Amino acid sequence: MSDKTNKPDENERADAGGPHFIEQIIQEDLASGKHERIHTRFPPEPNGYLHIGHAKAICVNFGLAKKYDGLCNLRFDDTNPTKEETEYVDAIQDDIRWLGFDWEDRLYYASDYFEQLYAWAEKLIQEGRAYVDDLSADEIRAHRGTLTEPGKNSPYRDRSAEENLDLFRRMRAGEFPDGSKVLRAKIDMASGNINMRDPVLYRILRAHHHRTGDDWCIYPMYDFTHGQSDSIEKITHSLCTLEFEAHRPLYDWLTENLEIYPPRQIEFARLNMSYTMVTKRKLLKLVQEGTVSGWDDPRMPTIRGMRRRGYPPAAIRNFCDMVGVAKVNSTVDLAMLEYCVRQELNLHALRRMTVLHPLKLVIENYPEDQVEEMDAVNNPEKESDGSRKVPFSRELWIEKADFMEDPPKKYFRLSPGREVRLRYGYFVTCTGFEKNDAGEITEVRCTYDPATRGGDSPDGRRVKGTIHWVSAAHAVPCEVRLYDNLFTVPDPAAAEDVQAALNPDSLQVLTGCMGERSLGEVEEGQRLQFERQGYFCVDPDSKPGAPVFNRTVGLRDSWAKIQKQQAGGKKKG
RNA sequence: UGGGGCGUCGCCAAGCGGUAAGGCACCGGGUUUUGGUCCCGGCAUUCGCAGGUUCGAAUCCUGCCGCCCCAGCCA
């Protein structure tokens, strides 16, 4: 038996187009024999949680390695002990694994290379290509010049190799206070590229490192670490984001002067998304001020947030393939991510019926204590998921929005005198309703047609609408959390005031929702479709018999569009 | 007004001298026991602008214009 799976095949990649520019380079390198097999790496700094932007970098690095039968390492770029923590190295590994990637036994830390890096620094010093500078940070800045004016040489620039070596060794030995000296590359203070104006290679920093403890009081800078780490690991293609483009000359200068294996750095554009902000500092503030519940708040653009929200890892991977790899700064429409999430969930999420805003429906001609077990398909996209029994009885919960006393045009649901189908149940015809003093509908009454059991009409009679329902006597009360964009502006990162850009309605908590009987037993993290409403997943806050669901994303809603059009039409007269 | 990048549909993105792929979004129509899915159709005479080369240019040349990155002892 074959599943009736539609379009997106398991093996089908959601490519944006032909091979992108990095793939072209890889293909050429493989064809020319420059490399027998490619080797990439994902090099996060363990100073925070991974977000959607990192997801793209992960997919690019691990994805390319996989596609071209190469390898991808995970390497923590941990050269700044003041910012890095073990908590993050654990979380990062967890997130990458969850995304579906594996570095096997190739887990590395730049800090593992400190001794080698130090030796290379001495080599540079001995060859007159690096010197110890006594200038203060402010003085170095002043000597650096500006974008349009060249810098000035440090007065310490011409110390002898012997003196530099002695000083550098004493730096390591801890003879000088923090910040009193640095090691600099001797390149060109007049270079148009500011990164080449004698960049700092080492600084004195007495801080406890999460891995090397207090072994070192001098730490290498990014520029003096990254390329060499790539070299040590024989990385063939070192992929990074655009802002490192100006660092490439330095990257190359170092591998050249150190005479070590030269990986090739290639830069591509980082991922930006509309209505989303990944600025670590600002995100941290949201967490600290309690605007969100934590780094895993389902509204957060973090991998943990998306995970709790219910985004399947495959959806994120597809999304990353879909947006492509290029050098243009771009901002991808959030709708594209949501499309990928729906696509994945449509194929794999089991269907269930849940009433979010309950309204009692009484079937007047249905026997008082009769209960029927109706067959309901678990997933129309996947026959092998089978079906389940859903109890049907005289009193049901239906969605408030599925009844209107005075419906507008094109409204296909229940209203006085109108017949609709109760999904997998019966055809029912509205016979009346009750209101309270406030004018709210409190109950709807109807009669059913026994001949339409299961929802089919033997006489071929058609109804325009099909609504979902839950047997009142069998309902599982639950909490449902609805999410919307955290921000109301397309580019929150550019907002002067983050607080003002926040969407006050980004979270809506619904209590007293009524789920079908099967929802009494769910597993944390389980992803479901609540028919006609959207995709939901079981939140860790769930308790036995009292599930809490997060709305991952709503179903596409053409009725909402019609309503919007009708409202717009009225406005314009 | 230094250096390095980038400009193809509302948003991504192919295109690599032979006469503008694809996806998202949007708009129509069909199927449908989810107003979901799926299916069909529409959606850039034009590639930041202006010149030039060529039988022929989004693709080559020149000059403009616009946007992004770099002046951490951050990565």
Q: What is the 3-state secondary structure (H, E, C) of A394-423?
A: CEEEEEHHHECCCCCCCCCCECCCCEEEEC
CA of A188 to C1' of B56 (A): 48
Instruction: Name which of A553, A500, A102 is nearest A291 in CA terms.
Output: A500
**A328 inside domain:** no
Say how many domains are in chain A: 2
Cβ < 7 Å from strand B, A residues 7-26: 7, 14, 16-21, 24
- Dump pLDDT digits (tens) for A151-161: 999 999 999 99
Cβ < 7 Å from strand B, A residues 37-56: 43, 45
Q: What pLDDT was estimated at residue A191?
A: 97
Q: What pLDDT was estimated at residue A14?
A: 59
Strand B proximal to A295 Cβ, under 7 A? no
Strand B proximal to A189 Cβ, under 7 A? no
**Can you tell me the distance from the alpha carbon of A78 to that of A109, in angstroms, rounded to the nearest whole number?**
7
CA of A80 to C1' of B67 (A): 33
Length of chain A in residues, anyone?
Answer: 573
Q: Which nucleotides of B are covered by protein (CB under 7 A)?
A: 1-8, 10-16, 21-27, 33-39, 67-75
A401 in Cβ contact with A417 (< 8 Å): no
Residue with CA nearest B11 C1'? A333
Q: Is the ipTM of this complex over 0.95?
A: yes
**A362 inside domain:** yes
Amino acid residing at A191 = S
- Dump pLDDT digits (tens) for A40-82: 999 999 999 999 999 999 999 999 999 999 999 999 999 999 9
Strand B proximal to A80 Cβ, under 7 A? yes
How far out from the chain centre does Cα A426 lie? 42
Strand B proximal to A332 Cβ, under 7 A? yes
Three-state secondary-structure class, residue A78: coil
Strand B proximal to A243 Cβ, under 7 A? yes
Strand B proximal to A329 Cβ, under 7 A? yes
The number of CA neighbours under 13 Å toward the Cβ of A56 is 23
Q: What pLDDT was estimated at residue A8?
A: 34
CA of A150 to C1' of B57 (A): 41
Those residues with Cβ within 8 angstroms of residue A148's Cβ, 6 or more apart along the chain or in another chain: none
**A377 inside domain:** yes
**Which of A173, A200, A220 marks a domain boundary?**
A220
Strand B proximal to A144 Cβ, under 7 A? yes
Which residues in chain A land under pLDDT 50? 1-13, 571-573
Nearest nucleotide, CA A43 to C1':
B75
Q: What is the CATH number of the domain that holds A435?
A: 2.40.240.10
Residue with CA nearest B71 C1'? A146
**A455 inside domain:** yes
Q: What is the CATH number of the domain that holds A210?
A: 3.90.800.10
**Which of A168, A187, A220 marks a domain boundary?**
A220
- Report chain A's C-alpha Rg in angstroms: 31
Q: Which are the catalytic amino acids of A?
A: 45, 270, 280
Buried b (16+ CB within 10 A) or exposed e, A308-334: bbbbbbbbbbbbbbbbbbeeeeeebee
Q: What pLDDT was estimated at residue A3?
A: 37
**Which of A220, A236, A255 marks a domain boundary?**
A220
CA of A19 to C1' of B55 (A): 32
For residue A479, what are the β-bridge partners? A548
**A56 inside domain:** no
Give the DSSP H/E element, type plus range, for residue A227.
Answer: helix A222-232
Strand B proximal to A74 Cβ, under 7 A? no
Residue with CA nearest B73 C1'? A203
Nearest nucleotide, CA A83 to C1':
B74
Nearest nucleotide, CA A455 to C1':
B33
**Can you tell me the distance from the alpha carbon of A506 to that of A487, in angstroms, rounded to the nearest whole number?**
8
Token pair listed for A155: 């007065």
Residue with CA nearest B24 C1'? A336
Strand B proximal to A279 Cβ, under 7 A? no
Q: What pLDDT was estimated at residue A28?
A: 96
Cβ < 7 Å from strand B, A residues 335-374: 335-336, 338-339, 342-343, 346, 351
Q: What pLDDT was estimated at residue A572?
A: 39
Domain of A197, in residue numbers: 112-220
A163 in Cβ contact with A199 (< 8 Å): no
Give the DSSP H/E element, type plus range, for residue A287.
Answer: helix A280-288
**Can you tell me the distance from the alpha carbon of A88 to that of A383, in angstroms, rounded to the nearest whole number?**
42
**A178 inside domain:** yes
**A327 inside domain:** no
Strand B proximal to A493 Cβ, under 7 A? no
Strand B proximal to A182 Cβ, under 7 A? yes
Strand B proximal to A141 Cβ, under 7 A? yes
**A74 inside domain:** no
Nearest nucleotide, CA A196 to C1':
B3
How many other CB atoms are there within 10 angstroms of residue A553's CB atom?
A: 20
Cβ < 7 Å from strand B, A residues 498-527: none
CA of A529 to C1' of B39 (A): 23
Q: What pLDDT was estimated at residue A567?
A: 85
Nearest nucleotide, CA A410 to C1':
B35
CA of A469 to C1' of B31 (A): 25
Whole-structure pTM value? 0.95
**Can you tell me the distance from the alpha carbon of A60 to that of A71, in angstroms, rounded to the nearest whole number?**
12
